[in-house]
Amino acid sequence: MKPIWLVTIKSDKILSDANKDLIVEFIDHEAHKAIGDNGFILHDVLEYKKFSEVIIEGTMKSVINLLCVLKDNLAHKLSYKLLQKI
Would strands 4-10 and 40-47 be described as parallel, antiparallel, or unpaired? Answer: unpaired
Q: How do residues 16-68 score in pLDDT, each as one tens digit?
A: 999 999 999 999 999 999 888 889 999 999 999 999 999 999 999 999 999 99
State the pTM of this model. 0.92
The count of domains in the chain is: 1
Whether residue 5 contacts residue 56, with contact meaning beta carbons closer than 8 Å, is answered with: yes
Q: Please report, for the domain that includes residue 67, its CATH number.
A: 3.30.70.1290
Structural domain range at position 19? 4-84
How many CB atoms are located within 10 Å of the residue 8 CB? 16
pLDDT for the residue 6: 99
pLDDT for the residue 37: 82
Three-state DSSP class for residue 59:
coil
